[in-house]
Amino acid sequence: MKKVNLPIKWRLTVWYGGVLSLILIIFASGIFIYFKNSLQDSIDAKIRSIGEVLSSSMTEKHGASVFGNFERYLENVLGRKPKGKFIQIMDSSGRIGAKMSDIEGEALPTSFNALERAMRGEIVYETIERTKPRLRMVTIPIMDNKKVTSVVQVGTSLEDFDETIRKLLLIMIISIPTSIIVTIIVGYFMAKKALRPVDQIRRAAVKISSSNLDEKIDITGRRDELGRLAETFNAMIGRLKDAFQRINQFSIDVSHELKTPLTILKGETEVALRKEREKDDYQKLLLSNLEEIDRMSCIIDDLLLLSKADTKEIKLNMEEVALRDLIMDVCMNMKVVADKKSVELQMSELEDVRLKGDELKLRRMLLNVVENGIKYSHVGGKVSVSSYVNDGHAWIDVKDDGIGISEEDIKYVFDRFYRADRSRKRESGSGLGLSISRWIAGAHKGSIEVKSQPAQGSVFTIKLPI
């Protein structure tokens, strides 16, 4: 069978409607039973007290004089005329000795059983249903010398009692369902109102798509769970929007970056094809083309690496790395580039430390940073590389006295395709070097930071755990 899931507002309503009904019914039945019993008890007590007064007075002045004027006698004994009562005296054979009735309708139809029990000395209560109105009657034995000689029966009409009970029942039958219905209706609307933000959130979620991330859930001034949910949701949309914007920007950058070499390739090739050329010219052209192709190939490799890094597809090939050897090797490689620009590449205080890492990746990171140092130095500048050990980490500083990085740019230099000075981009590169370096440092559970002063130079500090 398919499970039916009621909406929350209905479930809430059904639950508290049900609980409230249960409480009301138990409470009302309690009151009803207590009220009915105590009313009945008080009726019983009243007829019994009359009966007992009579029974004791009869024993004292036993005699026929009593029966002569029964009503007068009762008035004497009870102090007033009994209202709405039925009183009769009966002997052991059930013969009525005296009788007074203030109740409409006639003879008191006592049951034989009650009479018999009373004769045995018991006080017997009975409710007589046959008559209209119903009667409540007590039969009290009259004792003479420890023997029951006759009984006195006192009855009273249950008309008022029945009427009161009927009214009470009527009040309950009307008020309980009414209050249940009212609470269910009020409860339903309250639940609906309370849960309205959930619906707003749902509708907002439906509307959200990558092109529509400006949708916000508008729950002003709610400081409860739902308000916080909406806030969280809005914050999430904000983050998604940022992420989408970054991806968008990234795609724009990628296409732009690849478009430039392609335009050059196309332009050069077209020019070359305009007329017959010498063999040398073709060779030159092909060499230049190859350069652009290499450039694109590098960008694509870098992008591939970064995308794989994003999806955590890259496994580091961890091995023991001698840091000093690695730095020396990198500097040797970079010496050619530095010499070309008459930049002095210096190695100082290289501490001999071994750490676990992926040598190729670490080399790539160092090459990137040292290359930047040379690239962004003035002709005749100086780049120095040093390394040392401090609190369980190996630190590598790459310091240059080049153009430096301005305060606005420094936050972004590690971002993909970010170049501080876009106009010099042919010389500077694609702007992926530092993003890759930061990923490599992070993958080794280390970090890379930069401090820089425009026109003074920069220091890149790499921190790697040993």
Closest CA to 202 of 185, 177, 219: 219
**What is the smallest separation between the CB atom of 379 and Mg ion, expressed in angstroms?**
18
DSSP letter string, 171-240: HHHHHHHHHHHHHHHHHHHHHHHHTHHHHHHHHHHHH-BTTB-------TT--SHHHHHHHHHHHHHHHH
Whether the ω angle into residue 197 lies within 30 degrees of 0, i.e. cis, is: no
Contact (CB, 8 A) for 324 and 350: yes
**What is the smallest separation between the CB atom of 297 and ligand ATP, expressed in angstroms?**
13
Among 156, 366, 458, 464, binds ligand ATP (CB under 6 A): 458
**What is the smallest separation between the CB atom of 420 and ligand ATP, expressed in angstroms?**
3
Q: Which stretch binds ligand ATP (CB under 6 A): 6-14, 239-247, 358-366, 426-434?
A: 426-434
Strand partners, 292: none
Q: Tokens at residue 365, please?
A: 């990171």
Q: Which stretch binds ligand ATP (CB under 6 A): 47-55, 62-70, 243-251, 402-410?
A: 402-410
Q: Which stretch binds ligand ATP (CB under 6 A): 148-156, 250-258, 339-347, 419-427?
A: 419-427
Q: How far apart are the first and last CA of the chain?
A: 61
Report the SS3 class of residue 402.
coil
Residue 330, judged by CB atoms within 10 A of its CB (0-12, 13-18, 19+), counts as: buried
85 vs 295 by CB, closer to ligand ATP: 295
Packing angle, helices 196-207 and 159-194, rounded to 10: 30
Interface size with ligand ATP, residues (CB under 6 A): 22
- Which are the contacts of 147, defined by CB distance < 8 A and separation ≥ 6? none
Give CA–CA dist 118/125, Å, rounded: 10
**What is the smallest separation between the CB atom of 283 and ligand ATP, expressed in angstroms?**
27
114 vs 253 by CB, closer to Mg ion: 253
261 vs 404 by CB, closer to ligand ATP: 404
21 vs 428 by CB, closer to ligand ATP: 428
CA dihedral sign of residues 358, 382, 456, 426: negative
**What is the smallest separation between the CB atom of 358 and Mg ion, expressed in angstroms?**
19
Decide if residue 338 touches ligand ATP (CB under 6 A). no
**What is the smallest separation between the CB atom of 423 and ligand ATP, expressed in angstroms?**
11
Q: Which stretch binds ligand ATP (CB under 6 A): 93-101, 196-204, 260-268, 368-376?
A: 368-376
Q: Which stretch binds ligand ATP (CB under 6 A): 36-44, 64-72, 324-332, 411-419?
A: 411-419
**What is the smallest separation between the CB atom of 302 and ligand ATP, expressed in angstroms?**
7
Residues that bind ligand ATP in the complex, under the rule CB under 6 A:
368, 372-373, 376, 400, 402-405, 413, 418-421, 428-434, 458
